[in-house]
């Protein structure tokens, strides 16, 4: 089901779900809440696990753009086939979002983004999908989305899946550490899918006070999780020998790559970075600075791991600033493509 609900109805449903859980295995008298009587007969209604997810325009610009300024009217009048997928995707994205501290985000940005990419693919799993999605207009700028699952089915299926995931972790004990950080990370990517799905399912069970299964490989999961984080945070590169004309770009490029979580080092690297940036001058009409750029990460024997060609426009007054912004875009695109390369290794 998918339909907008008003605050009284939403509060009723949420309270009913809580009440049903409290009554499980007990016999209690009828009680009154919000002027609505819920009796013992309500025990025949399947108990619901639920999550209330607040959404703002920052969480889902596309959804709020579709609904327009009047959210209530937007929910009533917009085609549900257009609204429902956006509401569901936005709510699940926020529900399972990673929320690292600023300090960790700065030091582990590649690791965090890699895990975010993995969670984005896991959000489509059938087990994660709620049975009901009900958006409530809380204010002119806020939607509250209620996601509901049958809690008995969720507890049973999540428990079974967690046992499978837990058993599968043993396969990653045999990965050799006599490789570069990147080569090890490639081998560990399937384990990272396992670990992130595990966390998402445990989060659903815990938040709804549903029983969590006893998992034999809990300590192994913690070890692998930390191991993968250390590897993702330790990726380093060297520069390919460049002609003199390109060397002036190096400081900005090194800084941009570091902001993506990949550091420059004189130590034996995971990659060798090769790049070129050519200026096509300034457009007379738009005053934008125009560039043609290419950037690659090379592995063993100079074989490209990822390689990108870009056409870049930067509308700023200063050419030096335009160059720095162009190099930052090249670094961001390279990081995105490197994560995509890793995710294909599942």
User: Does some domain include residue 331?
Assistant: yes
Residue 176 banded pLDDT, cuts 50, 70, 90: confident
User: Do the domain assignments include residue 262?
Assistant: yes
Task: Give the model's pLDDT for residue 105.
Answer: 76
Residue 41: pLDDT over 50: no
Structure-block tokens of residue 160 = 């079974």
Residue 16: which pLDDT band, with cuts at 50, 70 and 90? low
- Final residue belonging to a domain, choices 148, 180, 207: 148
Pairing of strands 142-150, 132-139: antiparallel
pLDDT of residue 39: 40
Give the domain range for residue 263. Answer: 236-343
Say which CATH number the domain at 261 has.
Answer: 3.30.160.150
Nearest Cα residue to 48 out of 117, 120, 148: 148
pLDDT category at 248 given cuts 50, 70, 90 is confident
* Contact between residue 261 and residue 233 where contact means Cβ atoms under 8 Å apart: yes
Asked if residue 137 and residue 25 are part of one domain, the reply reads yes
User: Count of domains in the chain?
Assistant: 2
Query: Is 20 contained in some domain?
Result: yes
Domain contains 49: yes
What CA–CA distance (Å, rounded) separates 129 from 34? 30
Q: Residue 26 has what DSSP assignment?
A: -
pTM of the prediction?
0.82
Write out the E strands in the chain.
31-33, 36-38, 48-55, 132-139, 142-150, 236-239, 263-264, 271-282, 289-298, 304-314
Strands 132-139 and 48-55, by their bridges, are: unpaired
- Tell me which of 164 and 47 has the higher pLDDT: 164
Residue 26: pLDDT band with limits 50, 70, 90: very low
Residues, the chain: 346
Mean pLDDT of 46-73: 92
- What does the DSSP 8-state code read for residue 71? H
Residue 20 banded pLDDT, cuts 50, 70, 90: very low
- CA–CA separation, 301 and 187 (whole Å): 20
* Buried residues in 234-252 as b, exposed as e (16+ CB within 10 A): bbbbbbeeeeeeeeebeeb
**119-168 per-position pLDDT tens digit:** 999 999 999 999 999 999 999 999 999 999 999 999 999 999 999 999 99
**Is 81 inside a domain boundary?**
yes
Is residue 141 domain-shared with residue 25, that is, in the same domain? yes
Domain boundary among 91, 122, 148: 148
> In which band, very low, low, confident or very high, does the pLDDT at 10 lie, cut at 50, 70 and 90?
low
Contact predicate 240/210, CB 8 Å: no
Q: Is 217 a member of any domain?
A: no
Q: Are strands 236-239 and 263-264 parallel, antiparallel or unpaired?
A: parallel
Opening angle at CA 91, ends 199 and 156, nearest 5: 45
Evaluate whether residue 183 is within a structural domain.
Answer: no
Question: Is there a single domain that holds both residue 28 and residue 141?
Answer: yes
Same structural domain, 265 and 138:
no
pLDDT digits (tens, 9 = 90+) for 72-128: 999 999 999 999 999 999 999 999 999 887 777 777 999 999 999 999 999 999 999
Q: Please determine, for residue 27, whether its predicted confidence score (pLDDT) is greater than 80.
A: no
Q: How confident is the model at residue 249 (pLDDT cuts 50, 70, 90)?
A: confident
Q: Does residue 140 sit in the same domain as residue 25?
A: yes
Q: Is residue 309 part of a domain?
A: yes
C-alpha 136/C-alpha 145 separation (Å) is: 6
Last residue of a domain, one of 123, 148, 173: 148
């Amino acid at each position: 089901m998918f339909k907008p609900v008003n605050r009284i109805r939403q509060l009723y449903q949420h309270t009913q779900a809580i009440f049903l859980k409290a009554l499980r295995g007990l016999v209690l008298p009828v009680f009154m809440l919000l002027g609505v009587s819920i009796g013992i007969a309500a025990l025949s209604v399947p108990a619901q696990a639920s999550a209330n997810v607040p959404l703002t325009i920052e969480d889902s610009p596309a959804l709020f753009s579709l609904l327009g300024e009047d959210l209530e009217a937007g929910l009533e009048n917009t085609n549900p086939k257009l609204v429902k997928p956006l509401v569901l995707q936005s709510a699940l994205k926020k529900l399972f979002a990673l929320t690292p501290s600023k300090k960790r985000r700065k030091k582990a940005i590649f690791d965090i983004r890699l895990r975010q990419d993995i969670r984005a693919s896991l959000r489509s799993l059938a087990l994660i999908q709620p049975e009901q999605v009900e958006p409530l207009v809380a204010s002119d700028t806020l939607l509250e989305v209620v996601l509901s699952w049958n809690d008995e089915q969720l507890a049973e299926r999540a428990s079974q899946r967690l046992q499978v995931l837990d058993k599968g972790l043993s396969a990653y004990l045999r990965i050799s550490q006599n490789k570069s950080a990147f080569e090890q990370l490639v081998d560990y990517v399937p384990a990272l899918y396992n670990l992130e799905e595990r966390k998402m399912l445990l989060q659903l069970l815990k938040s709804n006070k549903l029983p969590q299964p006893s998992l034999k490989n809990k300590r192994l999961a913690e070890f692998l999780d930390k191991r993968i984080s250390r590897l993702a945070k330790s990726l380093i590169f060297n520069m390919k020998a460049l002609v003199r004309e390109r060397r002036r770009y190096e400081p900005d490029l090194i800084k941009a790559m570091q902001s993506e979580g990949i550091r420059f080092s004189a130590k034996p690297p995971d990659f060798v970075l090769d790049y070129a940036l050519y200026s096509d001058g300034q457009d007379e009409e738009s005053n934008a600075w125009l560039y043609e750029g290419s950037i690659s990460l090379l592995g063993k024997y100079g074989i490209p791991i990822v390689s990108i060609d870009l056409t870049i426009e930067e509308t700023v007054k200063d050419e030096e600033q335009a160059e720095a912004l162009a190099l930052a875009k090249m670094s961001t695109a390279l990081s995105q493509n490197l994560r995509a390369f890793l995710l294909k290794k599942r």
